[in-house]
Amino acid sequence: MLKVMPIYGTRPEAIKMAPIVKALQESEHFECIVTVTGQHREMLDQVNDLFGIKPDHDLNIIQPRQTLNGVMTRTIEGLDKLFEEDKPDAVIVQGDTTTSTAGAIAAFYRGIPVVHAEAGLRSFDIFSPFPEEANRKMTSQITSLHLAPTSTSRANLEREAIDPKTITVTGNTVIDALLNVVEKKVPYSEPVLEEIEASGKKIVLITTHRRENQGEAMRGVGRALGRLADENPDVVFVLPAHKNPVVREAVLPFLEGKANVTVTEPLAYGEFTRMLAAANVILTDSGGVQEEAPSLGKPVLVMRENTERPEALEAGTVKLIGTDEERIFSEVSALLHDAAAYEAMANAVNPYGDGKAAARTVAAIAELLGVGERLPDYGA
Ligand code: UD1
Ligand code: UDP
């Protein structure tokens, strides 16, 4: 059996890697050696638990308020030892985290082919998102098989003179994961969320964590949320807080004591997607949420200056609003009070996948390693 090693470390990678791990485990060709770096801890374990994935290796590298260089060096050092012992035939990394790029570099230096899931996303600004735009560009340089989620991401890679034969368009595995969980309507672990959903009140669901927004921009987000909550007592604001203490210190002081604001710990994926489906407005700087919410027909206001995910922007369900306090206040207010503005954005679109991205991924890996053929491109 050929050894394929998925390497991941954060919540979003775990969600998007889970369908690939499952498909590899079901394949007759591959032994799947699940390796987590532990860049995240609780937020990573939460996803593995949900999908019933037990890692074969766990580098457990997380540190409080960790630095990018710390994550990079601890990952490369840990993986290098594992590669010596396990000798994988290929590794697969996902997206643009530091775990992902460190995994690609460590494998490349050992002569192990790198498979890159969610390849070819580009914001065209090396500092935003930081460091993800640089991470994914670096990974593309040393990847043997590029799994582009859409034809737009394929075109981005071709523009960078990546050999088209090494690119497959798979769709994004986040849609595989979403379809797997969203229909189950799991119970909420916090009773207050059941009450909120049952109340019939409008819900604004918020997530924020981006490094380039930390500091004053994120405090502006907190101030805007505080004002929105005061001005809209009949609307409920739900914020599952990222575990990062830097994020919590910036945003949460502005929300204390407000009856219509509910701050929770990170929600398990099934609960979060249930809340996505129940919410009216999504306010986020997340990458994955920009892919999921449109398929549920939810308007998404993105607190960033640019996006590497233009497809839902073009479809009109996503709007870039930046992090200016006044702009956040006015854009959320418009979606809460202007029915026409709401209807214009609340369209279910699915530009990111059809739920079969993991099958295309495994077929493409089989082709790379000489034991099969790839499937036709997603959307071909
Ligand atoms: C990282 C990724 C980012 C991704 C995000 C997803 C990089 C450079 N950044 O963000 O691309 O969008 O994860 O959420 O790879 N912490 C915990 N427990 C957890 C997770 C985090 O305590 O389960 C705390 C720790 O103090 C940690 C801090 O949060 O040091 C920051 O975690 P980190 O992975 O470094 O966050 P980002 O780089 O902001
Ligand atoms: N998510 C979750 N629980 C939460 C918040 C988000 O399961 O409380 C999921 C969300 O559905 C999406 C992913 O986490 O799939 C996004 O992770 P994050 O925003 O941390 O990272 P990004 O996508 O920006 O890299």
116 is annotated as an active-site residue:
no
Residue 375 resides in a domain: no
Residue 377 resides in a domain: no
Residues 213 and 314 in one domain: yes
Residues 106 and 218 in one domain: no
Residue 92 resides in a domain: yes
Match 């990222």 to its residue by tokens.
242
Residues 201 and 309 in one domain: yes
Residues 206 and 151 in one domain: no
For position 184, what pLDDT does the model report? 87
Indicate the burial class of 250 (C-beta count within 10 angstroms; 0-12, 13-18, 19 or more): buried
Number of domains in the chain: 2
For position 380, what pLDDT does the model report? 87
DSSP 3-state assignment of 344? helix
List the catalytic residue out of 74, 146, 209, 210: 209
* Per-residue tens of pLDDT for the chain, all 380 residues: 999 999 999 999 999 999 999 999 999 999 999 999 999 999 999 999 999 999 999 999 999 999 999 999 999 999 999 999 999 999 999 999 999 999 999 999 999 999 999 999 999 999 999 999 999 999 999 999 999 999 999 999 999 999 999 999 999 999 999 999 988 889 999 999 999 999 999 999 999 999 999 999 999 999 999 999 999 999 999 999 999 999 999 999 999 999 999 999 999 999 999 999 999 999 999 999 999 999 999 999 999 999 999 999 999 999 999 999 999 999 999 999 999 999 999 988 989 999 999 999 999 999 999 999 999 999 98
Residues 60 and 145 in one domain: yes
Residue 207 resides in a domain: yes
For position 6, what pLDDT does the model report? 98
Q: How far is the CA of 287 from the centre of ligand 2 (A)?
A: 8
Give the list of residues 6+ apart from residue 332 with CB closer than 8 angstroms, or none. Answer: 204, 224, 228, 281, 283, 301
Query: What is the domain extent for residue 114?
Result: 2-172+353-368
Residues 339 and 358 in one domain: no
Residues 148 and 275 in one domain: no
Residues 32 and 126 in one domain: yes
Residues 218 and 302 in one domain: yes
For position 183, what pLDDT does the model report? 82
> Ligand 2: which residue has its CA nearest to atom 24?
286
What token pair was written down for 222? 């907190």
Count, residues in the chain:
380
Instruction: Outline where DSSP puts E strands in the chain.
Output: 2-8, 30-32, 35-36, 57-58, 90-94, 114-117, 145-148, 167-169, 203-207, 236-240, 261-264, 281-284, 300-302, 318-320
The Cβ of residue 275 has, within 10 Å, a number of other Cβ atoms equal to 20
304 is annotated as an active-site residue:
no
Residue 305 resides in a domain: yes
Residues 329 and 243 in one domain: yes
Closest-CA residue to 68 (of 117, 101, 116): 101
Pocket test for ligand 1, best of 39, 130, 214, 218 (most atoms within 8 A of CB): 39
Closest-CA residue to 34 (of 48, 46, 43): 48
Instruction: Using the Cα atoms of residue 318, residue 322, residue 328 and residue 334 in order, give the sign of their dihedral.
Output: negative
For position 185, what pLDDT does the model report? 84
List the catalytic residue out of 58, 132, 197, 331: 132
Q: How far is the CA of 39 from the centre of ligand 1 (A)?
A: 7
pTM for this predicted structure: 0.98
Residue 17 resides in a domain: yes
DSSP 3-state assignment of 367? helix
Residue 117 maps to which CATH number?
A: 3.40.50.2000
Residues 114 and 141 in one domain: yes
Residue 184 resides in a domain: no
> Ligand 1: which residue has its CA nearest to atom 2?
97
Residue 179 resides in a domain: no
Residues 133 and 64 in one domain: yes
H or E segment and range at residue 289: helix 287-295
